[in-house]
Chain A
Amino acid sequence: MVSVRSTTDWLYRYVVFPVGQMLIFIIGAGLVVSVLAYLLAFLFPEPRPNIILVDQINRQLPGMLIAGVSLGFVYAMIALGYTLVYGVLKFINFAHSEIFMFGSVIGFEVMRRLDDTGYMQGWNPILLVAFIVLWAMLLSGLLAVLIERIAYRPLRGAPRLVPLISAIGVSLFLTDAVRAFQAITRNEFNLTYPTIDLPWLKNPIPLAFGETTVNVRVTSIIIIVAAVLMLVAMNYFVNGTKLGKGIRAVSQDMSTASLMGINVNYMISLTFFVGGSFGGAAGALFGMNVGTVTPFVGFIPGIKAFTAAVLGGIGNVTGALLGGLALGMIESFLNGILVYFPALGQRYTDVFAFSVLILILIFRPSGLLGERVDEKV
């Protein structure tokens, strides 16, 4: 009977709990943002002549929620990279946005090469997405490890500002290196993903919500499913494996961890690999979703994911998830609603997203989940 009990225990800890947590975060963020949206509609019933804001929100609500969730998962996956590295090295890896960009470019390269062989159209699309994402993960993870080895490790004992500046340098270098590479090899750097000629993938799925119908893009669903699978795997890795325990030990006390026989440099490389591979996966999924990427595509999602990580509490893995989902939801609603305000418009979405960062830094710098257990000395 022991094995049955431990199996259910295992399932609870590594499947039910994390998935339940995601659901709670999604529902919670959705509720809060919906309430705010209706409050806005109450304050500004008719932002434009003949536009009743409440009606618009009613019509768009399901669509905004689904878009918010998929955007939120992309942010959460990138935010994990920031938060894991911060947890271990207490420094913000500003080159992480370029890891994301690199993942999206790798996704393009792999898909283009597959397409050139002519066999891609025959692939099972799920297998295809998995194949592309795995390549992006592997190469982005290795790139992140390489960056740490070259640009951060020699600066380990330096004042905090020094590796930060190094990170910004790496970020600029990577952007331009990819741009130069694409310019030389393809004579352009707007990289358009090949499309798959599959009707069920191209055509959105109409979902009926009462009187309104929402067209859900299949890629959104792929992103959500892939992100949920990966986040569950990540939770298991961090909390359920020996290596995850080692990473947590290193992040709490590096020198004591080394006294326990843990090779700290190896753990740091591993952390960069895991964080980098999640950023790369997010990049590839993002690329497949938007269709066209450039070497400059990483900056804004990177900064937003950083915002998400700070919102949730930097260094906290659950916080990255919550922050990502909350920010994705906020953005998706702003995208849907701001168009009706003539003085603002959709372009102001980023302004509001970054206002969140500033407000969090002022009023709750430790983030939503940033409280830690007190350490007795």
Chain B
Amino acid sequence: MTTLLELENVHTYYGHIHALKGVSLKVNQGEIVTLVGSNGAGKSTSLRTISGIVRARSGRIIFEGRDISTMRPHDVSALGIGHVPEGRRIFPLLTVRENIEIGAWNVTSRADISDRMEQMFVLFPRLKERLAQKGGTLSGGEQQMLAIARALMSAPRVLLLDEPSMGLAPVLVEGIFDIIQRINSEGTTVLLVEQNALMALEVAHRGYVLQTGSIALSDSAKALMNNEMVRKVYLGEN
């Protein structure tokens, strides 16, 4: 298995707050890897550091053999890292079509763009009905679909998903996780951040448990689900 993305002892700060205290993790080609942990553990910060929204103060982030830790977000995106940010962050005043097109910003071939758009309509038929609507008028579930479709338009090698279940009804959450598995089976590697640890571990191959900015545990998803500490703290069992 080839390693696609690797973090080596990454430290990130927000001002004086030491948010990531030496995080090291690996994502292999074709995997779904999940980062679970409680609020403020550094899950989102890890993804934001990979994307370059916040700069790592030390450590290396290696993507396909290249250190990307000092790159700016648009360059990271152009290398093939798609990011679905926390809270979906749809452009509210752009139409659904424009939102999807924005995702293909660095794709130059018009044929590629329309092909991928068709693929997105297969994956998310709802979006096709809403094309002319403004992004801000969509429901939460539709916005999540749009955010994923938007990130997939650049045909990323790895997709970073930040809390895709946040604020969605359980039925919708299941739909979203089905989609994640489907995207993965079609060849996209996924790094999934979730508070809903159970759901995340069910779809993932491997997982990391983050605690206050550092990795507390890492194992296969199955093993983590059976881990006593994980069951107690994150899966809510007594």
- List residues of chain A with CB under 8 Å of any chain B CB: 242, 245-246, 248-249, 252-253, 255-264, 372-377
Q: In the complex, are the beta carbons of B138 and A372 less than 8 A apart?
A: no
Q: B68-101, CB under 8 A of A: which get 1 and which 0?
A: 0000111001100001010101011110001001
Of the candidates A245, A262, A376, the one having the most CB atoms from chain B within 10 angstroms of its own CB is A376
Whole-angstrom CA separation of A345 from B14 in the bound complex: 58
Q: In the complex, are the beta carbons of A252 and B92 less than 8 A apart?
A: yes
Assuming A258-B74, A261-B77, A261-B105, is B98 touching A245 (CB within 8 A)? yes
Q: Which chain A positions have C-beta within 8 A of B60?
A: none
Whole-angstrom CA separation of A4 from B20 in the bound complex: 57
Q: Which 5 A-B pairs have the closest CB atoms?
A: A258-B73, A261-B77, A256-B89, A375-B92, A261-B106
Q: Which chain B positions have C-beta within 8 A of A373?
A: 92-93, 134, 136-137
Whole-angstrom CA separation of A248 from B136 in the bound complex: 14
The answer to whether B143 has its CB under 8 Å from any CB of chain A is yes
Shortest Cβ distance from residue A253 to the other chain B in the assembled complex, whole angstroms: 6
Q: B22-36, CB under 8 A of A: which get 1 and which 0?
A: 000000000000000
Q: Which chain A positions have C-beta within 8 A of B143?
A: 376
Q: In the complex, are the beta carbons of A249 and B92 less than 8 A apart?
A: no
Shortest Cβ distance from residue A316 to the other chain B in the assembled complex, whole angstroms: 10
Q: In the complex, are the beta carbons of B91 and A376 less than 8 A apart?
A: no
The answer to whether B165 has its CB under 8 Å from any CB of chain A is no
Q: In the complex, are the beta carbons of A259 and B94 less than 8 A apart?
A: no
Q: In the complex, are the beta carbons of A259 and B98 less than 8 A apart?
A: no
Shortest Cβ distance from residue B126 to the other chain A in the assembled complex, whole angstroms: 15
Q: Which chain A positions have C-beta within 8 A of B106?
A: 261
- Within 8 Å by CB of B136, from A257, A259, A375, lies A375
Query: Which residue on A lies nearest to B166, using beta carbons?
Result: A377
- List residues of chain B with CB under 8 Å of any chain A CB: 51-53, 72-74, 77-78, 83, 85, 87, 89, 91-94, 98, 101-103, 105-106, 134, 136-140, 143, 150-151, 154, 167
- Within 8 Å by CB of A248, from B73, B91, B139, B140, lies B91
Shortest Cβ distance from residue B116 to the other chain A in the assembled complex, whole angstroms: 14
Whole-angstrom CA separation of A258 from B78 in the bound complex: 10
Whole-angstrom CA separation of A73 from B228 in the bound complex: 71
Q: In the complex, are the beta carbons of A260 and B103 less than 8 A apart?
A: yes
Of the candidates A260, A374, A376, the one having the most CB atoms from chain B within 10 angstroms of its own CB is A260
Q: Which chain A positions have C-beta within 8 A of B105?
A: 246, 260-262
Query: Which residue on B lies nearest to A239, using beta carbons?
Result: B98
Q: Which chain B positions have C-beta within 8 A of A260?
A: 74, 77, 102-103, 105, 150, 154
Q: List 6 A-B contacts (CB under 8 A).
A: A249-B91, A252-B92, A255-B73, A261-B106, A372-B92, A374-B137
Q: Which chain B positions have C-beta within 8 A of A261?
A: 74, 77-78, 105-106, 154
Q: In the complex, are the beta carbons of A263 and B74 less than 8 A apart?
A: yes
- Within 8 Å by CB of B102, from A245, A255, A263, A376, lies A245
Whole-angstrom CA separation of A373 from B73 in the bound complex: 28
Query: Which residue on A lies nearest to B79, using beta carbons?
Result: A261
Q: In the complex, are the beta carbons of A248 and B93 less than 8 A apart?
A: yes
Whole-angstrom CA separation of A245 from B102 in the bound complex: 8
Q: In the complex, are the beta carbons of A255 and B53 less than 8 A apart?
A: yes
Assuming A245-B98, A246-B102, is B77 touching A259 (CB within 8 A)? yes
Whole-angstrom CA separation of A261 from B94 in the bound complex: 17
Shortest Cβ distance from residue A158 to the other chain B in the assembled complex, whole angstroms: 14
Query: Which residue on A lies nearest to B138, using beta carbons?
Result: A376
Q: Which chain B positions have C-beta within 8 A of A253?
A: 89, 91
Query: Which residue on B lies nearest to A250, using beta carbons?
Result: B91
- Within 8 Å by CB of B167, from A242, A255, A263, A377, lies A377
Shortest Cβ distance from residue A245 to the other chain B in the assembled complex, whole angstroms: 6
Q: Which chain B positions have C-beta within 8 A of A256?
A: 85, 89, 91
Query: Which residue on B lies nearest to A373, using beta carbons?
Result: B136
Whole-angstrom CA separation of A262 from B92 in the bound complex: 17
Whole-angstrom CA separation of A263 from B72 in the bound complex: 9
- Within 8 Å by CB of A376, from B51, B103, B140, lies B140
Q: In the complex, are the beta carbons of B150 and A249 less than 8 A apart?
A: no
Whole-angstrom CA separation of A252 from B91 in the bound complex: 6
Whole-angstrom CA separation of A249 from B91 in the bound complex: 6
Query: Which residue on A lies nearest to B51, using beta carbons?
Result: A259
Shortest Cβ distance from residue A144 to the other chain B in the assembled complex, whole angstroms: 22
Whole-angstrom CA separation of A260 from B87 in the bound complex: 15
Whole-angstrom CA separation of A252 from B134 in the bound complex: 13
Shortest Cβ distance from residue A50 to the other chain B in the assembled complex, whole angstroms: 56
Q: In the complex, are the beta carbons of A245 and B101 less than 8 A apart?
A: yes
Q: Which chain B positions have C-beta within 8 A of A246?
A: 102, 105
Assuming A246-B102, A372-B93, is B74 touching A264 (CB within 8 A)? yes
- Within 8 Å by CB of B94, from A242, A252, A376, lies A252
Assuming A249-B94, A377-B167, is B134 touching A259 (CB within 8 A)? no
Q: In the complex, are the beta carbons of B94 and A248 less than 8 A apart?
A: yes
Whole-angstrom CA separation of A256 from B143 in the bound complex: 14
Shortest Cβ distance from residue B97 to the other chain A in the assembled complex, whole angstroms: 10
Q: Which chain B positions have C-beta within 8 A of A259?
A: 51, 53, 73, 77, 83, 85, 151
Q: In the complex, are the beta carbons of B102 and A258 less than 8 A apart?
A: no
- Within 8 Å by CB of B53, from A242, A258, A372, A374, lies A258
Whole-angstrom CA separation of A258 from B77 in the bound complex: 8
Of the candidates A257, A258, A262, A372, the one having the most CB atoms from chain B within 10 angstroms of its own CB is A258
Shortest Cβ distance from residue B127 to the other chain A in the assembled complex, whole angstroms: 16
Shortest Cβ distance from residue B76 to the other chain A in the assembled complex, whole angstroms: 8
Query: Which residue on B lies nearest to A267, using beta carbons?
Result: B74
Q: Which chain A positions have C-beta within 8 A of B77?
A: 258-261
Q: Which chain B positions have C-beta within 8 A of A377?
A: 87, 167
Shortest Cβ distance from residue B210 to the other chain A in the assembled complex, whole angstroms: 21
